[in-house]
Structure 1
Amino acid sequence: MALPIDEDQQALADSALAFARKTAPTEEVRKDFAMFSGKVTWDAVVRNGFHGMHLPESVGGADCGLPALAVVVEQFGKALFPGPFLSTVLASSVAALAPAGADELLSAFGDGATGALVAEGRLTARAAGEGWVVDGTSDPTLGLSGAERILVRADAADTSGVGLWFWLDADDLAESARVQACEATDPTRTVGRLTLTGHVLAPGRALPGLDPVAVDLLVATLLGAEASGITAWCLETTVDYVRTRHQFGRPVGSFQAVQHKAAHMLIRAETACAAVWDAARAADAGSAQRRLVAAQAALTAAQAGVDQALECITALGGIGFTWEHDAHLYWRRAVAVASVVGTEDSWASRLGEAALGARRDFSFITGDTLPQLRAEVSAVLDTVVALPEDETATEGWAPTRGGDRRALLAEERLTAPHYPAPYGRDAGAVEQAVIAEEFASHGLAQPDTGIAEWVLPTLIAHGSEEQRKRFVDTTLRGELIWCQLFSEPGAGSDLAGLTTKARRVDGGWALNGQKVWNTQAREADWGVCLARTDAEVPKHKGLTYFLIEMSSPGVDVRPLQQATGVWEFNEVFLDEVFVPDDCVVADPGDGWRLAVTTLSNERLKMGTAKFGHGAASTIRELLDSGEHGSTREEVVKVLGRNTARELSVGAMNLKAVLHRLHGTEDATGAATSVQKVFHAIAQREGSDAMIRLLGPRGLVSSEELPYVVDYLGVPAVLIGGGTIEIQLNVIAQRALGLPR
């Protein structure tokens, strides 16, 4: 829930939070909002160098870059740090982007001048001789009242759309340049309006050449970072409260409704943080990439702060709605931050337009990374490409069956390189990324083993040597397809409540029962099945993990037609199905432990998959086809919002990978469940938004107009691999530590 990736960034975050809480404790700020909204804390900020950490060394700064500054802003937001810090670093960061003319202004900021950024309003500039004359009144601006240096943007009066940037010294303010203080929504900071009346720009005050895309990225990142800090405080405050508050003789946090609220708050905090983190790391990226992530941070993080604060207040109940509790101060600040960012609709439109021509690059390696591995993999893939395409297609979601190409990939341990030797290469995140790049550069898709992607890790970890020899290599070669026989009509997500029974017979076991929602069961050669072998012990302990040959007598597979009209799932009836002892994995009674291994791999896979419903690519197709009942502007807004959801998933995934690389990952494993739940919610919201664009075209469902079917397939992602509600329980209890 925080921006730091490595230990150095975490140390910076800890230091910033400790400084903020010591310098401006909220209980002291409450005693005199007016005093703390001014410069009372500023000298301490300057003494500790937080004001200039991002500025060039030539003006006394530390030149730490945007990611480090965002870390500090996030922690100051978490502490509700008052005064001109945020408004000043917004102004000084933008000033530092100027290719020329900013030396005097940057020197002032380096010496500790406070600042404000006036970037929105009805200010116009007209040329007058060799200078400019500016008129108009700005929108309410954060930190303007009391700012010593003011960075201003005005539109050119010739309606060219070109912005003129210039700066004012507070000592310059007179009749032609006045600041009017406003009553601030956030009482810990000042707000003002700038009015310029025929103001003649002093020589040397213009800052030509500022890149508007770079400005947007800076502003959206820093404001988003503060919103991220607010979401973190609200989550922590809520969880602490519901753990200890008792109602009806129980902790409030033990009620499922409260647990789900808290889990959703964690998801909101993670998505906001990931969006800001991705924006901060893009400071040196190309213009198209920066345009994407700036809009993403503005659209995702700012509103998350507002929503999170309100959820916090309602979780706290009446006490949260009183002036005495700090929650409303965070709520007010979140509203103020979102107001500075701008309207959601405008950012949705901007992100939608940006997404029409660009895709986010989530790569974290270069072409020079691991050259020896790259060359070795490239040589193998050269051979693969030279072989004929010989894989055999299957029906539904089942993977293709392999031929010589797949056999070679398995032999070279490239079918599943993340598996341990001798089946894979023990490839970590960097090695996997290099291998993936080589597959892409050769025009090859990486092999898909379907359900086996989740089954094989269980066999490798817990199976016998004979089982591994029999099943792992043959599956990696594409000779075997697997299905999973876990869910039952009466058990659903309560996996331990299953009733399929296995009784001892000569040489093995006889299985009887019914399974349901079994993907690939029609095509599968083998299935992994959980069955109850001991009814006298607690239900989790009486389960055994079996390997069933799907052609065995007594196995009856019946396809299930879904609401989409297609058959992608099945129900499987087991009638006296014989399973020999050598097809029991581990020992009888170990089934629950093994199932957890399988399901954890499944959830990780599903949490990182591309969107199957409501995808941004589908919205682009809809826009190109013209088969919608909405205006282009409405479709572009939906594209923007759906793109934002996809970017959030991508950023969370990459952030989790880098945490693993740096050894700073969360030991609770919350990231997997958070990604899985958000992934499902995002598809539901995205597909729902899409069908609302159709109008009368929603009456038709065909291959040419697949948009309704896209929506009708959403339940698969809401239920598959564990329902959202079960996952919310997991997040609340395991990640947030709420009582069962």
Structure 2
Amino acid sequence: MTGEATDRPLFADGPFGPRVDAARARAAESIGAAFAPHAVADERGVFPREVLADLGRSRLLRQRWHPGPFGDAGLGVIIAEESGRYGHAGLSVGVSLCLETVGSILVRYGDSPLLQEYLDGLLDGRLVGCFGASEPTGGSDLNGIRTAARRVPGGWRVTGEKRYLSLGLVCDFALLLCRIEDDGGEADGGLGVFAVPASALSIRKRLRKVGTAALDTTWMTIDARVPDEALVGRPGAGLLVATWGLSHERLSIAGQTVGGVAAATGLATAHLHRREQFGRPLLQHQALRLRLADLSARLLSLRFAVYSAAQGIPVTGACGPRETAALKVTATRFAEEAMSECMHLFGGAGYLEDETPLGRMWRDTRLGRIGAGTDEMMWELVASGMIPDFVGYDELVDLG
């Protein structure tokens, strides 16, 4: 990706126009070049680090986070959309976890030399970082975290287990959400995020998923001694730090959904043009044409919502955890439906692994409704901000 980053956000004049088109073309070129050699990575079940190395050399990763703490959110969603459009979610989700989840946390809270070293390596594509929260007994319940960070001379000892550690097999470091044990200190019993080296992670079980096999996900045990500068943010602020990273991940997932569904509907539209049944192209059959039109209309609405969210991130209160949760749950549920419908429009061929990519795309899409928080957790975040209209209720409702 050529050209240097500027302090002017990509969406400064809106999410459309020649400047955005040029940035999209450069991002698509860099992503295509990085992804293409590894399109069969699903067969190996390990994320190819070379993808991030190539994107680092293109400067795409560094441009995403210039300047902080929000970076260029517009470029972030363009990267997500174009990586999702490629149709290999194991690769696109892996990039998102490293660039958005880990990257956002280190950009905002990585104020020590050690954490800055990790961030520089990540943005150059030299280092791979991952994020671990879920545990064997916890799942989405972050208050049930049992992985412990105990105060020891010179720093902390981190011990415990993380059940769903994606990129764990290839990472250089992991950001882990832990319960702080500090002998009655101010943050004792609270949560903290700690950076631990990959050497402190041990495989308990490699997990086989329904889809996104290229995104290795592993049940890991942890035993690490880390210095004080490995603590990300303040002691006790772990939930705040994690929420910041997960919010960026959720917006990226919504962006990937836009790209993935666009790819699927594009293939389905071409098929309806090319395939003939009963003496005419499938596109001329109203039932099929209007089904696809409905998906396209909803995709258009989703794209505008994602772009609007990216414009709102630098504005305090305009796009926070509640808004990104709403986008993520809406986008991923729509994507699962859209992929299924597009696969259906191919008839029997849509269900064949060797003839179309729709089956793989359909399987991969299901991860979106679980990763970075389940549907139910997203709805709870949305519900927490619902405002009752008691004035209108009293004026307009009469239940006798």
**TM-score > 0.5 by shorter chain:** yes
Q: Give the equivalent residue in structure 1 for 2:268.
A: 619
Distance 2:188 2:297 in 1: 40
Q: Give the equivalent residue in structure 2 for 1:651.
A: 304
Query: Does the residue aligned with 2:244 lie in a helix, a strand or coil?
Result: helix
Question: Which of 530, 541, 560 lines up with 2:207 in the alignment?
Answer: 560
Q: Give the equivalent residue in structure 2 for 1:608.
A: 255
Query: Does the residue aligned with 1:710 lie in a helix, a strand or coil?
Result: helix
Instruction: Give the partner amino acid of 2:181.
Output: D
Shift of 1:564: 3.6
Distance 2:298 2:162 in 1: 34
Question: Which of 577, 583, 586 lines up with 2:233 in the alignment?
Answer: 586
Distance 2:254 2:382 in 1: 14
Matches within 5 A, 1:492-507: 492-507=139-154
Structure 1 residue 688 and structure 2 residue 340: aligned?
A: yes
1:627–1:694: 8 Å Cα contact kept in structure 2? Answer: no
Query: Could you say if the C-alpha distance between residues 530 and 399 of structure 1 is closer, same or farther in structure 2, counting changes exceeding 3 Å?
Result: farther
Shift of 1:398: 5.8
Query: Could you say if the C-alpha distance between residues 597 and 450 of structure 1 is closer, same or farther in structure 2, counting changes exceeding 3 Å?
Result: closer
Instruction: Give the partner amino acid of 2:364.
Output: G
Shift of 1:735: 4.5
Query: Could you say if the C-alpha distance between residues 696 and 454 of structure 1 is closer, same or farther in structure 2, counting changes exceeding 3 Å?
Result: closer
Uncovered stretches (5+) of structure 1, i.e. residues with no partner:
1-361, 440-445
Query: Does the residue aligned with 1:568 lie in a helix, a strand or coil?
Result: coil
Distance 1:471 1:696 in 2: 48
- The percentage of counterpart residues that share the same residue type is 23
2:265–2:342: 8 Å Cα contact kept in structure 1? Answer: no
Query: Could you say if the C-alpha distance between residues 707 and 526 of structure 1 is closer, same or farther in structure 2, counting changes exceeding 3 Å?
Result: same
Query: Could you say if the C-alpha distance between residues 621 and 710 of structure 1 is closer, same or farther in structure 2, counting changes exceeding 3 Å?
Result: farther
Shift of 1:538: 12
Shift of 1:668: 6.3
Shift of 1:701: 3.6
Distance 1:473 1:683 in 2: 34
Q: Deviations over 1:170-209 (max 9, x none)?
A: xxxxxxxxxxxxxxxxxxxxxxxxxxxxxxxxxxxxxxxx
Q: Give the equivalent residue in structure 2 for 1:330.
A: none
Larger radius of gyration: 1
2:131–2:174: 8 Å Cα contact kept in structure 1? Answer: yes
Query: Could you say if the C-alpha distance between residues 628 and 551 of structure 1 is closer, same or farther in structure 2, counting changes exceeding 3 Å?
Result: farther
Question: Which of 278, 281, 291 lines up with 1:638 in the alignment?
Answer: 291
1:558–1:572: 8 Å Cα contact kept in structure 2? Answer: yes
Matches within 5 A, 1:685-724: 685-693=337-345, 695-697=347-349, 700-724=351-375
Question: Which of 59, 65, 69 lines up with 1:409 in the alignment?
Answer: 59
Question: Which of 667, 671, 677 lines up with 2:329 in the alignment?
Answer: 677
Q: Give the equivalent residue in structure 1 for 2:392.
A: none
Matches within 5 A, 1:301-316: none
Matches within 5 A, 1:455-474: 455-474=102-121
Query: Does the residue aligned with 2:159 lie in a helix, a strand or coil?
Result: strand
Query: Does the residue aligned with 1:493 lie in a helix, a strand or coil?
Result: coil
Matches within 5 A, 1:391-430: 395-396=46-47, 400-402=51-53, 406-407=56-57, 409=59, 414-420=63-69, 427=72
Matches within 5 A, 1:306-455: 363-366=15-18, 395-396=46-47, 400-402=51-53, 406-407=56-57, 409=59, 414-420=63-69, 427=72, 450-455=97-102
Between 1:577-586 and 1:541-550, the stretch displaced more is 577-586
**RCO higher in 1 or 2 (8 Å CA, sep ≥ 6)?**
2
Distance 1:453 1:667 in 2: 16
Instruction: Give the partner amino acid of 2:360.
Output: V
TM (norm. structure 2) is: 0.69
Query: Could you say if the C-alpha distance between residues 530 and 617 of structure 1 is closer, same or farther in structure 2, counting changes exceeding 3 Å?
Result: same
Query: Could you say if the C-alpha distance between residues 457 and 563 of structure 1 is closer, same or farther in structure 2, counting changes exceeding 3 Å?
Result: closer
TM (norm. structure 1) is: 0.40
1:627–1:697: 8 Å Cα contact kept in structure 2? Answer: no
Shift of 1:724: 1.2
Distance 2:342 2:96 in 1: 31
Q: Give the equivalent residue in structure 2 for 1:550.
A: 198
Distance 1:611 1:427 in 2: 19
Query: Could you say if the C-alpha distance between residues 452 and 558 of structure 1 is closer, same or farther in structure 2, counting changes exceeding 3 Å?
Result: farther
Uncovered stretches (5+) of structure 2, i.e. residues with no partner:
1-13, 83-91, 390-400
Distance 1:617 1:539 in 2: 52
Q: Give the equivalent residue in structure 2 for 1:597.
A: 244
Query: Could you say if the C-alpha distance between residues 541 and 604 of structure 1 is closer, same or farther in structure 2, counting changes exceeding 3 Å?
Result: farther
Distance 1:473 1:555 in 2: 25
Number of equivalenced pairs: 343
Between 1:715-724 and 1:588-597, the stretch displaced more is 588-597
Q: Give the equivalent residue in structure 1 for 2:138.
A: 491
Shift of 1:544: 1.7
Query: Could you say if the C-alpha distance between residues 538 and 702 of structure 1 is closer, same or farther in structure 2, counting changes exceeding 3 Å?
Result: farther
1:673–1:727: 8 Å Cα contact kept in structure 2? Answer: yes
Matches within 5 A, 1:65-214: none
Instruction: Give the partner amino acid of 1:709.
Output: R
Shift of 1:474: 1.6
Distance 1:708 1:427 in 2: 34
1:642–1:686: 8 Å Cα contact kept in structure 2? Answer: yes
Shift of 1:569: 4.2
1:628–1:693: 8 Å Cα contact kept in structure 2? Answer: no
1:503–1:510: 8 Å Cα contact kept in structure 2? Answer: yes
Q: How large is the Cα RMSD of the aligned pairs?
A: 4.5
Query: Does the residue aligned with 1:453 lie in a helix, a strand or coil?
Result: helix
1:467–1:583: 8 Å Cα contact kept in structure 2? Answer: yes
Distance 1:636 1:472 in 2: 48
Distance 2:188 2:156 in 1: 19
